[in-house]
């Protein structure tokens, strides 16, 4: 059962007048305004983490460096937002806490959004950033990927792209509330009462990202990818998410492909709870597990 604090958060979200993601594509001006507002209202990051804008491989982003980070470790973080919204700064409080828990410096990638450049631009940006880390001297065994929602799907897609291109793979991947099926065919997308998104909204977001590409294209919808040879994965999802089945089916397919997978399903918890409820017991528990998973796999170089 979800905590009392989680239930209070859901009530607050409802009482605030918050509406799920719209199912009609906003105009470019509306999108730019939404991104500005996200940055302006970003929650503060942990005091033991220093944030600094930077660029890797020509792709902008923000470094989050905990005081206790192990030298040489790097975490690449991909924010959520359905490939249409979100920024590295806006999700910085999530990235900073995860970096601290993993004892690793984290670079949150401001990959191109769908209205700036559609698929496969986000995957191309993610690959470019990873290769830039390798070129800078990082060992692949000291790099892990992490992300939430669309960013969680981008974690899996990036691992598949790197494998297919023959790049040395990161040591592990962590995906939370991952959007991995742009056909939105999971049963949970039809049945779950999700206060954050609707099925129509997911189809709109996916369609804008695809810009005419087949929604079953593996690098866009990694649920349909060949997952053989991927590194260990930790997948987390709440049972009160439209995307519940995206994660459950991905975990099953990955295991069938021989991938070492850990799956956490949090009972009654909403989409990207770590973002909406940084002080929830569920957030502390899930981030501690994610940090321990990453800490265990990242090498000390």
Helix H, strand E, coil C: the string for 208-262 is HHHCCCCCCCCCCCHHHCCCCCCCCEEEEEEEECCCHHHHHHHHHHHHHCCCCEE
Rounded to a whole number of angstroms, the CA Rg of the chain reads 17
Choice among 46, 93, 271, 297 that is catalytic: 271
Choice among 114, 142, 149, 221 that is catalytic: 149
What span, in angstroms and rounded, lies between the C-alpha atoms of 272 and 208? 21
Alpha helix segments (H runs only) across the chain: 4-15, 28-40, 92-102, 121-135, 150-165, 188-191, 199-210, 244-256, 273-276, 281-297
Cβ atoms of 61 and 129 within 8 Å: the answer is yes
What's the sign of the alpha-carbon dihedral 24, 27, 29, 31? Answer: positive
Strand 59-66 to 105-109 pairing = antiparallel
Short-list 107, 115, 114, 113, CA closest to 142: 107
| Per-residue pLDDT at 91 | 97
Tokens of 11: 């009530």
- The 10 Å Cβ neighbour count of residue 115 is 20
What span, in angstroms and rounded, lies between the C-alpha atoms of 273 and 238? 8
**β partners of residue 238:** 266
Q: How many domains does the chain have?
A: 1
- The 10 Å Cβ neighbour count of residue 105 is 19
263 three-class SS = strand
Cβ atoms of 129 and 123 within 8 Å: the answer is no
Residue 17 DSSP label: T
| Per-residue pLDDT at 301 | 55
Short-list 187, 181, 156, CA closest to 169: 156
| Per-residue pLDDT at 16 | 72
How many angstroms separate the first and last alpha carbons of the chain?
41
**One pLDDT digit (tens) per residue for the chain, 301 residues:** 899 999 999 999 888 766 667 778 889 899 899 889 999 989 999 899 999 999 999 999 999 999 999 999 999 999 999 999 999 999 999 999 999 999 999 999 999 999 999 999 999 999 999 999 999 999 999 999 999 999 999 999 999 999 999 999 999 999 999 999 999 999 999 999 999 989 999 999 999 999 999 999 999 999 999 999 999 999 999 999 999 999 999 999 999 999 999 999 999 999 999 999 999 999 999 999 999 999 999 986 5
Domain of 96 in residue numbering reads as 4-297
Residues in the chain: 301
| Per-residue pLDDT at 66 | 98
pTM comes to 0.96
- The 10 Å Cβ neighbour count of residue 279 is 8
Q: For residue 38, what are the CA distances in angstroms to 52, 94, 140?
A: 18, 14, 32
Our answer to whether residue 149 is catalytic in this structure is yes
**β partners of residue 174:** 146, 234
Q: What is the CATH number of the domain that holds 291?
A: 3.40.50.1820
Residues 6+ apart with CB under 8 A from 84: 25, 31, 113, 114, 115, 205, 208, 209
Tokens of 114: 């769908």
Q: For residue 35, what are the CA distances in angstroms to 29, 154, 270?
A: 10, 19, 22
Choice among 108, 114, 188, 241 that is catalytic: 241
């Amino acid at each position: 059962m979800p905590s009392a604090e989680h239930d209070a958060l859901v009530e607050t979200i409802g009482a605030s007048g918050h509406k799920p993601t719209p199912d009609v594509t906003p105009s470019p001006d509306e999108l730019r305004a939404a991104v500005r507002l996200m940055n302006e209202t970003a929650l503060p990051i942990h005091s033991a983490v220093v944030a600094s804008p930077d660029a890797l491989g020509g792709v902008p982003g923000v470094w989050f460096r905990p005081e206790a980070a192990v030298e040489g470790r790097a975490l690449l973080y991909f924010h959520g937002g359905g490939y249409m919204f979100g920024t590295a700064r806006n999700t910085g409080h999530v990235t900073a806490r995860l970096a601290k828990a993993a004892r690793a410096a984290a670079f949150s990638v401001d990959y191109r959004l769908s209205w700036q450049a559609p698929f496969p631009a986000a995957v191309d940006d993610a690959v470019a950033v990873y290769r830039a880390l390798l070129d800078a001297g990082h060992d692949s065994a000291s790099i892990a990927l992490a992300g939430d929602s669309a960013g969680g799907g981008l974690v899996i897609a990036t691992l598949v792209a790197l494998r297919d291109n023959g790049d040395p793979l990161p040591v592990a991947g962590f995906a939370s509330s991952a959007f991995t099926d742009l056909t939105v065919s999971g049963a949970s997308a039809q049945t779950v009462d999700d206060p954050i998104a609707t099925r129509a909204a997911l189809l709109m977001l996916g369609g804008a990202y695809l810009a005419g590409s087949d929604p079953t294209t593996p690098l866009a919808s990694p649920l349909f990818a060949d997952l053989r040879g991927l590194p260990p994965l930790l997948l987390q999802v709440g049972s009160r998410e439209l995307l519940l089945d995206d994660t459950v089916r991905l975990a099953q397919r990955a295991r069938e492909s021989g991938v070492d997978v850990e799956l956490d399903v949090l009972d009654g918890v909403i989409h990207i709870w770590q973002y909406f409820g940084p002080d929830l017991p569920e957030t502390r528990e899930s981030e501690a597990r994610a940090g321990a998973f990453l800490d265990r796999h990242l090498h000390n170089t």
